């Protein structure tokens, strides 16, 4: 599979995750979000950027439980809870936000 | 003759066996996990150091780097890149991979 | 179903068991180290009492300064630092294995508990499940 962004064709896997992490740009994120019916707000970007930083540091996409805890630590308890994160990313903060962030699917997600 | 070893000296005895069987003037190339055998300050280095006068020992640089071992190479072991690997194979009439 | 899978199912009933993952292989020459790490990350979701043991060439997995660009393989060493966030904090390293390889705890990329072979064996014997890679 593939997506088209700004005239470029980017390869994705069968679930829509980018194959090459280096292909990611903010425009790519917006395009993936649009396809997922997610309207990117500042709060969405906060989570997406957090995920990218986490991946840079640890070379994995975090499990949802780990993400929730880490967000709470960094952005406060009103954001570090599943309700808040699922409202932003209805198909799962780990799965859907990782896709928009251009990361592989979190290890252990099926 | 070029001998190629790819397993750690702590996991397999292939490096010890290879060194025992490498004749004078032979070359030994350590790749993949065998590069740990080219490093200092460990229990396996004596055997390799003992062989250095008799055989030429090479280790693959990218494998050393990957394992964080580049700064610990035993003196006298020559570090080669992939092109150097190809040269070694080309220079020797025969090569043997120790499995 | 394997014994380990049955033990994971027991967790559904609220039973916490002691799992030890034993790492004995160097990081890039074979796939064991990476696969083992992934299993550990996945199993973290089951809220069990997990510990990791590093012995023999497994201690090489934790060496600082790994740079894999030249062999075009993913450097997964930073992922060991994520284990704490997964509440996996019991990392045991066998002293004899470190010493044989001329390594010290400060050359490792995460805080670990270094212990002698006898102590490590004692902890291994306390486990409900031991899974080796």
Q: For residue C90, report the phi and psi dihedrals to the nearest 5 degrees.
A: -95, 95
Q: Which structural domain, as residue segments, surrounds residue C39?
A: 17-132
- Nearest CA to CA, how far is B80 from chain C (Å)? 12
CA dihedral C106, C108, C111, C112 (to 10 degrees): -100
**CATH at A14:** 3.30.1420
What is the average per-residue pLDDT within B79-85?
98
- Name the residue with higher pLDDT: A96 or A1: A96
Q: What is the pLDDT of residue C7?
A: 64
- Distance between B26 CA and the closest CA of chain C, angstroms: 24
Residue of chain C minimizing CA distance to B36: C101
Share of chain A above pLDDT 70, in %: 96
CATH number for position A92 = 1.10.10.370
Q: Find the mean pLDDT for residues C72-77.
A: 96
CATH of the domain at C67: 3.40.1260.10
Contacts of C85 in chain A (CB under 8 A): 62, 66, 69-70
Nearest CA in chain B to C73: B66
Model confidence pLDDT, tens digit, residues A15-54 = 999 999 999 999 999 999 999 999 999 999 999 999 999 9
Strand pairing category for A8-11 and A2-5: antiparallel
Same domain flag for A49 and A96: yes
Chain C residue numbers with beta carbons less than 8 Å from the beta carbon of A57 are: 78, 81-82
Chain C residues with CB under 8 Å of a chain B CB are: 25-30, 56-57, 60, 63-71, 73, 75, 77, 99-103
Give me the pLDDT at residue C15, please.
86
- C86 and A107 within 8 Å at the Cβ level: the answer is no
H or E element, residue A61: none
Considering the domain boundaries, does residue C2 fall inside one?
Answer: no
Mark whether A10 and A59 lie in a shared domain.
Answer: no
Q: Is the pLDDT of residue A72 over 70?
A: yes
Q: Indicate the number of domains in chain B.
A: 1
- Reported as type and span, the H/E element at residue C99 is helix C95-100
The tally of domains found in chain A comes to 2
Residues of A in contact with C47 (CB under 8 A): none
Residue A103 sits at the vertex; the CA angle it makes with A100 and A107, to the nearest 5 degrees, is: 120
pLDDT at position A109 over 60: no
Which string of DSSP letters, residue by residue, matches B42-94? STTHHHHHHHTTTSEEEEEHHHHHHTT-GGGBPTTPEEE-HHHHHHHHHHSS-
pLDDT of residue B99: 81
The domain of A6 spans 2-35
Domain-located, residue A109: no
Tell me, yes or no, whether A46 and A62 share the same domain. yes
- C1 has a pLDDT exceeding 60: no
Q: What is the ipTM of this complex?
A: 0.86
pLDDT averaged over every residue in chain C:
91
Question: Would you say residue C3 lies in a domain?
Answer: no
CB proximity C69 to A under 8 Å: no
Q: What is the mean pLDDT of chain B?
A: 94
CATH number, domain with residue B25: 3.40.1260.10
**Of B11, B41, B62, which has the smallest distance from its Cβ to C71's Cβ?**
B62
Of A58, A59, A62, the CB nearest to C74: A59
- For C25, name the nearest residue in chain B, comparing CA atoms only: B11
Contacts of C69 in chain B (CB under 8 A): 62, 65
Model confidence band, residue A110 (pLDDT cutoffs 50, 70, 90):
very low
Touching subunits of B (3+ CB pairs, under 8 Å) are: C
Total number of domains in chain C: 1
- Bridge partners (DSSP) of residue C120 are none
Q: Domain range holding B72?
A: 2-98
A110 within domain boundaries? no
């Amino acid at each position: 599979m593939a997506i088209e962004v700004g005239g470029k064709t980017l390869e994705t896997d069968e679930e829509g995750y980018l194959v090459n992490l280096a292909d990611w740009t903010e425009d790519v994120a917006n395009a993936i979000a649009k396809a997922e019916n997610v309207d990117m707000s500042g709060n969405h970007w906060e989570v997406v950027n957090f995920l990218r930083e986490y991946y840079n540091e640890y070379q994995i996409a975090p499990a949802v439980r780990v993400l929730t805890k880490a967000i709470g630590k960094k952005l406060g308890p009103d954001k570090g809870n599943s309700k808040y994160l699922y409202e932003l990313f209805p198909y799962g903060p780990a799965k859907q936000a990782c896709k928009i962030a251009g990361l592989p699917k979190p290890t252990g997600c099926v | 003759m070029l001998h190629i070893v790819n397993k750690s000296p702590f996991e397999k005895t292939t490096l010890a066996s290879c060194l025992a069987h490498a004749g004078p003037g032979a070359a030994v190339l350590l790749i993949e996990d065998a590069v740990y055998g080219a490093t200092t300050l460990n229990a396996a280095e004596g055997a390799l150091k003992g062989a250095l006068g008799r055989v030429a020992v090479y280790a693959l640089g990218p494998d050393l780097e990957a394992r964080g071992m580049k700064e610990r190479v035993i003196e006298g072991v020559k570090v080669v890149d992939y092109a150097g690997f190809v040269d070694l194979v080309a220079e020797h009439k025969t090569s043997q991979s120790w499995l | 179903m394997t014994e380990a899978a049955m033990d994971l199912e027991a967790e559904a009933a609220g039973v916490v068991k002691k799992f030890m993952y034993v790492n004995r292989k160097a990081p890039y020459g074979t796939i064991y180290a990476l696969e083992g790490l992934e299993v550990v990350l996945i199993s973290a979701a089951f809220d069990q009492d997990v510990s990791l043991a590093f012995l023999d060439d497994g201690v090489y997995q934790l060496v600082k300064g790994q740079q894999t660009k030249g062999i075009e393989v993913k450097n997964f060493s930073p992922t060991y630092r994520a284990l704490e966030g997964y509440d996996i904090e019991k990392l045991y390293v066998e002293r004899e294995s470190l010493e044989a390889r001329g390594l010290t705890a400060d050359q490792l990329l995460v805080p670990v508990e270094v212990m002698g072979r006898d102590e490590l064996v004692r902890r291994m014997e306390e486990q409900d499940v031991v899974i080796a890679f």
